[in-house]
Chains A and B, each alone.
Chain A
Amino acid sequence: MADPIKQFQIVDLFPIAKIGNTDIAFTNSAAFMVLAVGGITTFLLATTRRREVVPGRMQSIAELSYEFVANTLQTTAGKEGMKFFPFVFSLFMFILIANLIGLIPYAFTITSHIVVTLALSMSVFLTVLIYGFWKNGLHFFNLFVPKGVPLYILPLIVFIEVLSFISRPVSHSVRLFANLLAGHITLKVFAGFITLLGSLGIAGIIGATLPLALVVAFFALELLVAFLQAYVFAILTCIYINDAIHPGH
């Protein structure tokens, strides 16, 4: 049976530079990142080049994705949150397209590596932290001090709130990474069963229809997960940004 983990292997395509003793190579992960970014950019530029009043199919896909993210951001973080629209939109589109590209057979799934998702979630975390302090100054610490808590229990609550805040990038990144990793491994394992059973003769081929049906069903689920995880990532980014804008008074 084919190794279900092999699909996540990082392969060096060609070296770029050498810093100290570390080789910096252009990997398959980087190649698919470039593909995702290039695909999004060309798609959005091509579909909005001829801006028609009555949008065609492609133009309305671009407009829908814009409106979807804009609505999500405005309902969660208010009008002020629209400052961060480019950030949230880039994140959403990048994760969505990376997830969808990963579903194509033989493609590499960028977001199934925790390095990538942690980097994305840390960029959100640091944005919230830096913008929060820049905008609110020390009032940003009010985020950790809920109102109406008795004084003798306050230190404990503040500790818990701080830990809750620190755990945000962890849950933010682990969710995306774990969902995609688990989904892709499951797909590969079930697909492996098909070939395994199929090699057992006529009875095996009949038996192999079961995992085949499962793979088809699971692929549909993975398609949904690919979209939903991008959406969850975007909406949590909006919620965290909202905290930076309004950290309580």
Chain B
Amino acid sequence: MVRAPLRAAEFSEVLVYPRVESMADGTHGDKDHRGQSPDDEAALSARLKRLGERLTVTGRPSEDVSGPRQTTDPSQMARGFRLSTELVAGVLVGAMIGWLIDRWLGISPWGMMVFLLLGFAAGILNVMRAAGIVREKKLND
């Protein structure tokens, strides 16, 4: 949506400017290229160079505006797959530990209750780590 008018602007520049530039370049053309190439060829290359510069200048901000990139980056999909099981794993481990503690110590509902909640918290922590909300690397702590 944003890019379409920008493109049009670029094209009009390309269409309008060359006439002015080709005249300007034509006079200096043989000095720059030691007279090897004909005038219009030198002018063309100079124009292409200028167009390239202009495109890089105008192209960059438009790419920033264009929202999330449509890439098939495997690491992003990998992150999506990661999220799917992290919470379940936390709750499962909490329930398992709670059940074992109940069986060993005979405090029937309490171990399960406490560890299920703790496991849920751990699962949420896992998900937040996987999503990158909580920092994962602890290098400089």
Contact = CB atoms under 8 A, between A and B. Distances in A.
Interface of A: 143, 146-147, 156, 159-161, 163-164, 166-168, 170-171, 174-175, 178-179, 227-229, 231-232, 235-236, 239, 242-243, 246-249
B88 interface: yes
B3 to A, nearest CB: 29
A179 B81 CA distance: 9
A239 B129 CA distance: 11
Given A160-B125, A161-B125, A247-B138, A175 B85 contact: yes
Contact of B122 (A163, A179, A231, A243): A163
A246 B138 CA distance: 7
Interface residues of B, number: 31
A249 B122 contact: no
For the complex of A and B, list the 6 residue pairs with the smallest distance between their C-beta atoms, beginning with the closest.
A171-B89, A248-B138, A163-B122, A164-B122, A167-B93, A170-B89
12 contacts: A160-B121, A164-B90, A164-B123, A166-B97, A170-B89, A170-B92, A174-B92, A178-B85, A179-B81, A228-B78, A228-B81, A246-B138
Nearest to A159: B118
A23 to B, nearest CB: 30
Interface of B: 74-75, 77-78, 81-82, 84-86, 88-90, 92-94, 97, 115, 118-119, 121-123, 125-126, 129, 136-141
Contact of B93 (A166, A229, A231, A235): A166
Contacts of A243: 138
Contacts of B81: 175, 179, 228-229, 232
Contacts of A147: 141
Contacts of A168: 89
A227 to B, nearest CB: 8
Given A246-B139, A249-B141, A160 B118 contact: yes
Contacts of A232: 78, 81-82
Nearest to B129: A164
Nearest to B91: A167
A163 B86 contact: no
Contacts of A248: 138-139, 141
Given A174-B89, A248-B139, 5 more contacts: A163-B122, A164-B123, A174-B88, A247-B138, A248-B138
A247 B137 CA distance: 9
